[in-house]
Structure 1
Amino acid sequence: MYHEATPPARLRHAVRCLWWSAGEGTKPIVPDGCLDLIVAADRVFVAGPDTGPWRSAPGTGALHGVRFRPGHAPRVLNVAADELRDQRVTLPDLWGRHGAGITDLLLSRPAALGDVVAEHLTERLDPGLDLLVARLTTGVPRVSAALSDLETGERQLRRRFTLAVGYGPATYLRVARLQRAVAAAPTASDLSSLALAAGYADQAHLSRDCRELTGRTPGEFFPSRRPFHSRPPRPERLPSPT
């Protein structure tokens, strides 16, 4: 039981979706380049950007969450995303006494999560970073192709990308390519055509990345996609901030 909702207009530049999950059993979650702010039955926590599969704990109960667009979570959390990589951090640990107060509020009123995000959202926009994320998400073959005509120096932009997204452009490209494979899997006739559709060099390339990012072979992972809480990619065509 998992449902996504479009965020209100005031959040759309920073938030990909609001979501709700019944939280029954355990769900393997594979990397998608996003950070989430999540309200569980007994805590409020941030799920950092993953570099490998993560399995939710059994008996978690209902979960309410906000999924940030890649690169935008620091605008709300006020912490570099790479400090949260492969981490689950409670809001009091992140924000101290203020985080404890927000936790009490959200545990009693989970529906206020969107309002909390809106109250903490800053206007720190980075168009160059957004453009780089969009190019990597939608299928450039190499990071160098995405960086080729950007005015900002490559070294500086790579550093900004890591701080905002949680890992470097090369890792994000691998994650985005896997998510393209997830989206293409239902219509692919075999793994070779799936690799081609997702932008891999060949099936062996797909196999290597799939093993590292999901902990399974493509033959194991893709036929059993339904139990996986894996979010399909969406082109990062960002709405104009208002």
Structure 2
Amino acid sequence: MYEEAAPPGPLRGVARCVWRSASESPKRIVPDGCVDLVAGDGEVFVAGPDTTAWSSVTTPEALLHGVRFTPGRAAAVLGVAADELRDRRVPLAEVWGRRGEVLAERVLAGELTPAEAVVSRLPEVAPPDPAVAALIARLDAGVARVQEAVAGAGAVPAAERMLWPGRDSHPGTGFPPTGQATSPAHAAGPPAGRARSTLPATGKLSPPDLAAALEDPAGPITVGERRLRRRFVQAVGYGPATYLRVARFQRAVALSRGAPGLAALAAAAGYADQAHLSRDCRALTGLTPRAYFRGSSTVDETVRDRRRSA
């Protein structure tokens, strides 16, 4: 069983969905570009953005609940760069310190849902980085090449730039780069082990950018390609090329039910050809397209569960 539901109102724009899942056998989890907060079977942990499939193994009759963050938003909520969580399952207590330990205990006791635990964090969360959000939208729209998506994605209104961190902090999260000291404003965050606290609602502009914003608040400020890619990695967990690969495969998963064959599925999902789909499917799931989309593997229940809950 796998079921998704729209996130509660406070999580709109932060979470893609809330979900619950139960399985009598190992379940293959394939990359989707998201970070999840997962609770159940005696633990509460953060499942970082994946680059390949992993198997979720639970005790019989265990029910898991989770919050799936919107791509690019988990870093701000969790207070840690998403690339530090890549291909990892990290206990919440390691991310939020003592605060995370207490929240995990309350979630496992049934006093809080994972969604409510995330909502408790929202007052401290910085707004999204508009340049990263624009690039994610372009990649999700199905561009053929990363360069097409990057071009122009970094040009955002100066007024929006006022709401996200300056060049000396991780965009969209508000915690400083690794190895740099925190300011008094940052020091007030949660005492997490590797986590960083979140930025106040406004960030800093460099003098040239500030002058441009004052001269024309509605005019665009361009973020350099290298800087945009770095911000993307910190917010999403990996680079635009990997995200495009994952997004394209997820599009194939969504279209697989009505596709008459693998060649048609590849074309509909935006692949160059069927061989392109096969390479990505093997890399992301460990299975051939025929086995993943049509097979009856006892490990791979994800597609069937999604269809059942649709």
User: TM (normalized to structure 2)?
Assistant: 0.71
Compute the displacement of 1:181 (Å): 0.7
Q: How does 1:44-193 map to 2 (within 5 A)?
A: 44-59=44-59, 61-109=62-110, 111-121=112-122, 122-150=125-153, 151=155, 152-193=223-264
Compute the displacement of 1:29 (Å): 0.8
Compute the displacement of 1:6 (Å): 0.8
Find 2:301's aligned residue among 217, 223, 228: 228
Any conservation in 1 of the 2:41–2:59 contact (CA below 8 Å)?
no
SS in 1 for 2:241: helix
Identical amino acids, percent of aligned pairs: 54
CA distance in 2, matches of 1:68, 1:52: 18
Compute the displacement of 1:215 (Å): 0.3
RMSD of aligned Cα (Å): 1.8
Q: Alpha-carbon deviations, 1:18-41, whole Å to 9, x = none? A: 111124321101100000001112
Compute the displacement of 1:111 (Å): 4.5
Equivalent position amino acid for 2:2 in 1: Y
Compute the displacement of 1:3 (Å): 1.2
Structure 2: 5+ residue stretches without partners: 156-222
Structure 1: 5+ residue stretches without partners: 233-242
**Count of matched residue pairs:** 232
Q: Alpha-carbon deviations, 1:106-125, whole Å to 9, x = none? A: 11126532221112121332
Compute the displacement of 1:175 (Å): 0.3
Equivalent position amino acid for 1:228 in 2: E
Equivalent position amino acid for 2:46 in 1: V
SS in 1 for 2:33: coil
Residue 136 and residue 225 in structure 1: after superposition, are their counterparts in 2 closer, same or farther (change >3 A)? farther
Equivalent position amino acid for 2:24 in 1: E
CA distance in 1, matches of 2:100, 2:121: 12
SS in 2 for 1:186: helix
**In the alignment, what sits opposite 1:213?**
284
Equivalent position amino acid for 1:26 in 2: P
Equivalent position amino acid for 1:118 in 2: V
Residue 189 and residue 110 in structure 1: after superposition, are their counterparts in 2 closer, same or farther (change >3 A)? farther
Of residues 122-131 and 85-94 in structure 1, the stretch that sits farther from structure 2 once superposed is: 122-131
Of residues 221-230 and 100-109 in structure 1, the stretch that sits farther from structure 2 once superposed is: 221-230
Compute the displacement of 1:130 (Å): 1.1
**In the alignment, what sits opposite 2:24?**
24
Compute the displacement of 1:188 (Å): 1.3
Determine whether 1:200 maps to 2:275.
Answer: no
CA distance in 1, matches of 2:18, 2:12: 10
**In the alignment, what sits opposite 1:240?**
none
SS in 1 for 2:140: helix
CA distance in 1, matches of 2:289, 2:64: 29
Any conservation in 2 of the 1:23–1:63 contact (CA below 8 Å)?
no
CA distance in 1, matches of 2:7, 2:23: 21
Residue 26 and residue 110 in structure 1: after superposition, are their counterparts in 2 closer, same or farther (change >3 A)? farther
**In the alignment, what sits opposite 1:238?**
none
SS in 1 for 2:294: coil
Q: Alpha-carbon deviations, 1:77-134, whole Å to 9, x = none? A: 1000000100001011222222111111111126532221112121332122111111
Q: Alpha-carbon deviations, 1:177-200, whole Å to 9, x = none? A: 101111111111111111110101
